[in-house]
């Protein structure tokens, strides 16, 4: 049995076309699809990279991940297969796959050199899905094309400032929690936009509507409002820079 | 083959982590995942309980349902496995599982006493998913921990008033239909906020934009606006109390 | 292994009930579900027909598609099984299935004459899901009922005007791209609401926020705003008529 995950910014019905292509190519071979997310903010490669990074390590050896957040579709940007920790990642060469692949160990990247009859706007269906089907059918990553050095993507590092630290928001979940580019809690008490954030181990330690900072289940610091919505309360969205002031 | 359903308020990518954990633990054993809903209003345990209640009876014997709407995550609230009518329910002890389990017959509840390495914010992935995998692999509910008495949850009962009946809205679907805590239609003609609701067997009996009351496919009374949106028209949301006045 | 796709305007948890019914009837027979879309605008049969048309050809022979966008549920509108190109389509007789079925070749339509215990509001679960289960279990389309002539649905044809062509918007995707009822690009340069649309092969040929017209991966002309949202920019939605003026 093959496990194939899909992560895109496509919303509905385009992901189903990708699954149809894979099922057609696999001709009855058993496959389990897992949708990681299809509601990545349109063309937000960093948000997609974060969601894939958060999820990949929970899947078993042999899993094939297709990820497509692809503002460069139809240009000369290359397609990649990346191998790491016994899992395979298929998608555009724009950094999307790399944090997840690196989190599993040493990576090997291959440029997709096979040629497909492809539309100019939907390589997820016309290139990446058929490549995933070939991999699920047992072909090696190396057989897809030559070794290459992929484009990387960084969530950036916390920057020390006069007053505290500057960070960026890399993801906003549906609770309005703000995921930050920092893999630990600040060691000092902090304020955001003048409002103190209570450092907690779990949301339930906060009072109702109290702003919190905690280490999320994904390993990144996260600002939340207990039983509320931090993104709305602080008027912040993915991509925004923030400063946490030391109290 | 195991059937495992998932119901959460997580939106995207966290449910995929739960599936990844289960697939990793099952090591190739065949599993069919069915997503019941991941768009339950954040932390609305009653709405989640309603969605699970509406769905469980349609699944075959042996189905394992994981449900996680969990404002108390990280506190001392317990985890449960509930057995009823040949199906299993896994989730927090906050009432979420109980209406669905009770609808299938006599329930047996077990406190999850197994210890897992768990984050403070995501027991769906760190506790309930591994427990579901153990159950899918053939372990018994009783082997998860001691029998216990679960917290219950009630949708409340209709209350007779001077003018008619008082009810509460337990769910709003994407059509804006308002599901009420009453398992039959009122026997008299009714008004809501001064507007008459036509009692119908099917939406198509109403004229365009006419407010209706019908017995929904889930067995609860439901207020709809034919080809319109009752939640918007009446300015109501899940949790609101309403009064249906007898005409 | 059976492949069963689902396309509805139900949002969440009602599609899971349909899957539960199918799994119950199939008693362990292997089935792969693919959700095409459950976010079709409520009761927008044309949008549903477009999504199904766009997707069906990518699925393998033997696939069973259940599609339910069904404003006439509970009335005398009939249920259909349509056979075409080795695939089967199950749903209401309101045109929803026909463009997709026709795109695969000659169609044969059968009225569902089997009688089920059905609610008045949810034939997707009470009739179409059980029919799909029977088909997946090996029964023929012809065994469901007599041959019939289905209601058809047309996306309409482009209309020549004094200034250019009049078209309609048949779908708006989550990027805000406007899918039009025309299966090629205009041969002349065009304006929409006074604003020039650049004819491109791929979105990336446009400058940031530049309005574009391209032939989408589904084979229909599509208006987009590069890294923006055309539906918002031009204040248009599914069903709207537009005029493309020749420059």
**Segment C133-166, tens digit of pLDDT:** 999 999 999 999 999 999 999 999 999 999 999 9
What single DSSP character describes residue B124?
I
Whether residue B55 and residue C13 make contact (CB cut-off 8 A), yes or no, is yes
b/e string for A120-139 if b means 16 or more Cβ within 10 A? Answer: bbbbbbbbbbbbbbbbbeee
- The DSSP symbol for B149 reads P
Q: Does B206 touch chain C (CB under 8 A)?
A: no
Cβ neighbours for A195, distance < 8 A, ≥ 6 positions apart? A211, A234
Test B126 with A58 for CB contact under 8 angstroms: no
Give the nearest chain B residue to C44 (CA atoms). B227
Percent of chain C with pLDDT strictly greater than 90: 82
Query: For A205, phi and psi rounded to 5 degrees?
Result: -75, -15
A39 neighbourhood in chain B, CB within 8 Å: 11-12
Indicate the DSSP class of residue C126. Answer: I
Looking at residue B118, its pLDDT comes to: 82
- List all residues 6 or more positions away from C140 whose beta carbon is below 8 Å from its beta carbon: none
Classify the phi-psi angles of C89: left when phi > 0, otherwise alpha if psi is within -120 to 50, otherwise beta. Answer: beta
Structure tokens given for A51:
């969601």
> Which whole-number Å values give the CA distances from C219 to A14, C7, C39, C241, in the listed order?
13, 20, 21, 19
Confidence of residue B91 (pLDDT cuts 50, 70, 90): very high
User: Is the per-residue pLDDT at A142 higher than 90?
Assistant: yes
Whole-angstrom Cα distance, residue B77 to residue B81? 14
> SS3 string of A75-121?
CCCCEEEEEECCEEEEEECCCCCHHHHHHCCCEEEEECCCCCCCCCC
- Taking only residues 186 to 205 of chain A, the set having a beta carbon closer than 8 angstroms to any beta carbon of chain B reads 201-205
Does the pLDDT of residue A19 top 90, yes or no?
Answer: yes
With a cut of 90, say whether residue A38 has pLDDT above it.
Answer: yes
CA pair distance A80, A102, nearest whole angstrom: 14
Report d(CA C40, CA A18) in Å as an integer.
Answer: 19
On whether the CB atoms of residues C73 and C128 are closer than 8 A, the answer is: no
- pLDDT, residue A75, reads 84
- Chain A nearest-CA residue for B17: A55
ipTM: 0.94
Does the pLDDT of residue B208 top 90, yes or no? no
* Candidate from A182-196, B52-66, C177-191, C199-213 with smallest mean pLDDT: C199-213
Per the CB < 8 A criterion, the answer to whether B7 and B33 are in contact is no
pLDDT at A73: 86
pLDDT of residue B215: 92
Q: Which residues contact C192 (CB under 8 A, 6 or more apart)?
A: C211, C223, C234, C242, C243, C244, C245
Task: Give residue A117's pLDDT band: very low, low, confident or very high (50, 70, 90).
Answer: confident
- Contacting residues for A238 by C-beta, under 8 A, at least 6 apart: A41, A44, A46, A47, A169, A170, A171, A172
| B24 at A interface, C-beta within 8 A | yes
Residue A133 DSSP label: H
| Distance of alpha carbon C57 from alpha carbon A207, whole angstroms | 53
**Would you place residue C121 in the very low, low, confident or very high pLDDT band (cuts 50, 70, 90)?**
confident
**What does CATH list as the number for A2-144?**
3.40.50.10790
DSSP C161-186: -SSEEEEEEEEE-TT--EEES-SS--
- Confidence band of A204 (pLDDT split at 50, 70, 90): confident
What is the spatial distance between Cα B44 and Cα B52, in angstroms, rounded to a whole number? 13
Which pLDDT belongs to residue B205?
Answer: 84
Q: What's the CA gap between B227 and B220, in Å, rounded?
A: 20
Q: Is the pLDDT of residue A120 over 80?
A: no
| Residue B232 touches partner C, C-beta closer than 8 Å | no
Stretch among A200-204, A225-229, C97-101 having the lowest mean pLDDT: A200-204
Class of domain C159-246: mainly beta
C39: nearest CB among A12, A20, A24: A12
Q: What is the pLDDT of residue B202?
A: 82
What is the structure's pLDDT at B72?
Answer: 87
Kindly determine whether residue B214 and residue C121, on different chains, have CB atoms separated by under 8 Å: yes
Q: Give partners of C (≥3 CB pairs < 8 A).
A: A, B
The CA distance from A126 to C219, in Å, is 14
**CA–CA separation, A107 vs A98, rounded Å?**
8
pLDDT at C119 over 90: no
Give C203's DSSP letter: G
Q: pLDDT-derived band of residue A119, with 50, 70 and 90 as boundaries?
A: confident
Whole-model pTM above 0.90?
A: yes
pLDDT greater than 80 at residue B120 = no
Confidence band for A28, pLDDT divided at 50, 70 and 90? confident
Is residue C120's pLDDT more than 80?
no
Q: What is the percent of chain B with per-residue pLDDT over 70, rounded to a whole number?
A: 100
Mark yes or no for CB contact B73/A204 under 8 Å. Answer: yes
| Chain centre distance of CA C138 | 26
CA angle centred on C188, ends C186 and C194, rounded to 5°: 90
Locate the domains of chain C by residue range.
Answer: 2-144, 159-246
How is residue A144 annotated by DSSP? G
Share above pLDDT 90 across residues of chain B, in percent, rounded to a whole number: 81
pLDDT in tens, B151-190: 999 999 999 999 999 999 999 999 999 999 999 999 899 9
C176 touches B at CB < 8 Å: no
Q: How close, in Å, is residue A225 to chain C by CA atoms? A: 26
Grade residue C18 by pLDDT with cuts at 50, 70 and 90: very high
The single-letter DSSP state of residue C71 is T
Evaluate whether B13 touches B44 at the Cβ level (below 8 Å): no
Which value, to the nearest 10 degrees, does the dihedral of the CA atoms of residues A91, A92, A95, A98 take?
20
The per-residue pLDDT of chain A, averaged, comes to: 94
Q: Which residue in chain A is spatially nearest to B38 when comparing CA positions?
A: A174
Q: What is the mean pLDDT of chain B?
A: 94
Nearest chain A Cα to B74, which residue? A202
What would the mean pLDDT of A193-201 be, rounded to a whole number?
Answer: 94
Condensed to tens digits (0 to 9), the pLDDT of residues A2-13 reads 999 999 999 999
Cβ-based burial of B149 (10 A; exposed 0-12, middle 13-18, buried ≥19):
exposed
* Cβ atoms of residues C80 and C93 within 8 Å: yes
Q: Which of A216-220, A237-241, B87-91 has the lowest mean pLDDT?
A: A216-220
Who's near B204: CB < 8 A, 6+ residues apart? B226, C71, C72, C73, C74, C75
**Reported confidence tier of residue C35, pLDDT bands at 50, 70, 90:** very high
Q: What pLDDT is recorded for position A126? A: 94
Position B232 confidence tier, pLDDT thresholds 50, 70, 90: very high
| Dist CA C208 CA A34 (whole Å) | 33
Q: Which helix (H) or strand (E) holds A192?
A: strand A190-192
């Amino acid at each position: 049995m093959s496990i194939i995950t899909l992560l895109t910014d496509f919303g509905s019905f385009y992901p189903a076309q990708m699954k149809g292509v894979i099922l057609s190519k696999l001709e009855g071979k058993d496959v389990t699809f897992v949708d990681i997310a299809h509601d990545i903010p349109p063309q937000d490669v960093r948000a997609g990279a974060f969601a894939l990074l958060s999820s990949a390590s929970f899947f078993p050896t042999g899993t094939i991940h297709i990820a497509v957040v692809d503002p460069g579709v139809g240009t000369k940007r290359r397609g990649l297969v990346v191998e790491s920790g016994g899992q395979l990642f298929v998608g555009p060469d724009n950094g999307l796959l790399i944090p997840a692949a690196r989190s599993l160990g040493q990576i090997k990247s291959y440029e997709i050199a096979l040629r497909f009859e492809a539309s100019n706007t939907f390589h997820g269906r016309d290139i990446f899905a058929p490549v995933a089907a070939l991999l699920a059918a047992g072909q090696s990553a190396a057989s897809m094309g030559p070794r290459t050095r992929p484009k990387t993507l960084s969530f950036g590092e916390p920057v020390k400032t006069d007053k505290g630290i500057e960070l960026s928001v890399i993801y906003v979940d549906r609770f309005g929690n703000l995921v930050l580019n920092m893999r630990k809690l600040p060691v000092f008490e902090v304020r955001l936009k003048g409002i103190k954030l209570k450092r907690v181990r779990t949301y339930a330690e906060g009072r109702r509507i109290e702003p919190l900072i905690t280490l999320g289940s994904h390993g990144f610091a996260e600002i939340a409002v207990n039983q509320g919505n931090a993104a709305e309360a602080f008027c912040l969205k993915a991509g925004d820079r923030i400063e946490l002031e030391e109290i």
